[in-house]
Structure 1
Amino acid sequence: MLEFRTQGFQGYSVKYSPFFDSRIAVATSANFGLVGNGRLYILGLTLNGVVAEKWFDTQDSLFDLAFSESNENQLLTASGDGSIKLFDTTLSTFPIQSWHEHAREVFSVHWNLVGKTNFLSSSWDGTIKIWDPENSSSITTLPTHSCTYSAQFSPHSPSVLSSVSSDSHLRVFDLRTPASASNHLTLSIPIHTPPKTRPGIAPSPGIPPSEALTHDWNKYRDSVIAVAGVDRVIRSFDLRMAGAGPIAILPGHEYAVRKVTWSPHLSDVLLSASYDMTCRVWTDGSAMGVGQGNEAGQAGDPMAYGGGRELGRMNRHTEFVTGVDWCLFGAEGWCASCGWDERVLVWDVRATMGQ
């Protein structure tokens, strides 16, 4: 396990470069993001450990980041002052572009993985905005009418995107549809609706809605999205059966789940980071086939559903874990995590599985 200290700055988000297996970036904030500056770290994984190749200081907290999918040296940051900044690691310490249309904190940014020419942002102001880095203003604004903690483009389509918000809804937008009154909204799924009862499986109890903080698209199954948040439970939904409720429910975290991310190597495996100071690796049960039910899941837990279960956990952080990301390259299983303990850890998920 490798470690780097973000001295004086608490981590909020960590991402691997889509171009280099030895480069990661971390968005951090002073004073836990409540007030003060932010810092974007560009870290290199070397034979001598993790080293800071460069960093950029900002006037406000940083909550998220995204590497460009079209330029190996550029990356975005999401800031507490409502701004989005684009940095180039080969140029000066100042951003090469800045946008400021959001009225409140920007909590997520995401580059279009398929189209590669645009990116999005989501904010506490209840909107998602789509941007072209060549333009000084946004292309499209999508209202969610709720504090939107996470938004992403689909990894399968350049025109489809999704979000989760404080109103406990998963929303899916398709930019190919007419804007009209729906503003490209094609699905709005209440996250806390219990799954429909299936033969041989006890019905799951209903849970009061709570804020959804994170979500991620499955990289292999183009209609599956995992969602998690304040209620500590990870759920996965199949958009083809949106009205049926979640297809898998994975309980286990002791506090809010801050980040979920599907494996880029295995279709049924995902990672989570939580305020309970752990990162956990899960299977959603899909690799076992349909109909395995709770027998393959967490025995005795009435919340478990879909045959999924926890495969292992990493508990080396000593404060809230706020970010985790998979490495796209090399042997499957390498990842990086960051947290409020001012530590970035690089570790092998395979070493935690089965513990």
Structure 2
Amino acid sequence: MLGPKLPPAVLQTPGYAHYSLAWSPFHKNRIALASSANFGLVGNGRLHIVSNAPDLHVDKFFETQDGLYDVAWSEVHENQVVTASGDGSIRLWDIMLNNFAIASWQEHTREVFSLDWSNINKDTFASSSWDGSVKLWIPDRPRSLSTLQAHHACVYQALFSPHQPSILATCSTDGTLKIFDLRSPAYAPSSNTFSTPLSAAALTVPVSGSEVLSLDWNKYRPFILATGGVDKAVKVWDCRMVKMGGDGGVGGVCEAHLPGHEYAVRKVQWSPHSPDVLASASYDMTCRVWNKGRLVYIHDPHTEFVVGCGWSLYDQGLLATCAWDSRLNVFRV
């Protein structure tokens, strides 16, 4: 085996397949878990608030009318979390209150598939949807700040750069990774849509001939990103290499091509503690850990698609995975 295997801590949530997890930026042992009944195809959803001390257990859960696909913690309020739903809605929850969301937005016309709270502009978060758009939000406003018509097709993920607050990356069904500079005059919040929405990307990276399902920014190296998708490969991109065209830049150099997964890669996440360590989760029911481009660990106790993984922000080497088998695993690599 590629590394010593210690049994993970396991939490089972019967009847709810997991889609995403997020470690709290405020509390070392708190995890938010987005889940859906019937594998997210039909039925309701559930937000679980989980503690990892002294063992894994559910502190509280909130029911939703449709499945939940993603979750993100507020960077301002330690008890607030935002969820993305299959009915196109976004909800803000206070985990100290019971039953009902404290805010709700319904602008996306299809499933909301990802959420990201900026860790620099801490009052702002982004959502991406199957409707092809990305929207920027401030929680105390009734409507979105602005809308990026980022792709012609489903936007699986949109993430703010951890280095520059005005830079946002997206990935899509169309096989591309795009980087947007929100300082562009076209993105002024006074207009609700961009003047040249489909050609406004500062950089377009042709990642794959198939869908790109996930991306993540390296936390130490600006403009280094990882992607994963239907082609089963994890790829690392240096997006400083740009060839300018009439509608923006095209380029990006593939710094590393990491084969190994047997099915589509559903999630990639760089370690917050190392510039060289990357985790990937896949429909092959494994989570894999890479270090400097080499496969160093395989986590394979799950019995269904592994669709989420996340590194602890406080405890180096501690990794969580969630899957359609209704299990949340926490283990040390």
**What TM-score does the superposition give when structure 2 sets the normalisation length?**
0.91
Give 1:255-294 correspondences, 5 Å limit.
Answer: 255-283=263-291, 285=292
Q: What is aligned with 1:101? A: 107
| Alpha-carbon distance in 2 for matches of 1:272, 1:341 | 17
Q: What is aligned with 1:160? A: 167
SS at match of 1:31: helix
Q: What is aligned with 2:181? A: 174
Residues matched between the structures, number: 308
| Alpha-carbon distance in 2 for matches of 1:218, 1:252 | 21
Pairwise CA distance, 1:345: 0.5
Task: Give unpaired runs (5+ residues) of structure 1.
Answer: 193-208, 286-307, 350-355
Pairwise CA distance, 1:177: 1.2
| Alpha-carbon distance in 2 for matches of 1:174, 1:91 | 37
Tell which structure's C-alpha radius of gyration is larger.
Answer: 1
2:255 to 244, 247, 254: 247
Give 1:98-177 correspondences, 5 Å limit.
Answer: 98-143=104-149, 144-177=151-184
Q: What is aligned with 2:40? A: 33
Judge conservation of contact 2:212–2:229 (CA < 8 Å) in 1. yes
C-alpha spacing 1:267/1:214, structure 2 compared with 1 (3 Å):
same
2:85 maps to 1:79: yes
Q: CA RMSD in A?
A: 1.0
Q: What is aligned with 2:302? A: 317
The letter for the 2-side match of 1:37 is N
Pairwise CA distance, 1:92: 2.1
Identity %: 52
Pairwise CA distance, 1:241: 1.4
Judge conservation of contact 2:134–2:148 (CA < 8 Å) in 1. yes
Higher strand share: 2
| Alpha-carbon distance in 2 for matches of 1:182, 1:163 | 17
Give 1:290-309 correspondences, 5 Å limit.
Answer: 308-309=293-294
**What TM-score does the superposition give when structure 1 sets the normalisation length?**
0.85
SS at match of 1:70: coil
Deviations 1:173-231 (Å, cap 9, x if unpaired)?
Answer: 11111216444521111113xxxxxxxxxxxxxxxx00000000000001100011111
Which stretch of the first structure deviates more once superposed, 142-151 or 253-262?
A: 142-151
1:328 to 284, 290, 313: 313
Q: What is aligned with 2:325? A: 341
Task: Give unpaired runs (5+ residues) of structure 2.
Answer: 1-7, 187-193, 243-250
| Alpha-carbon distance in 2 for matches of 1:117, 1:155 | 14
The letter for the 1-side match of 2:152 is H
| Alpha-carbon distance in 2 for matches of 1:73, 1:186 | 35
| Alpha-carbon distance in 2 for matches of 1:188, 1:182 | 15
| Alpha-carbon distance in 1 for matches of 2:97, 2:313 | 26
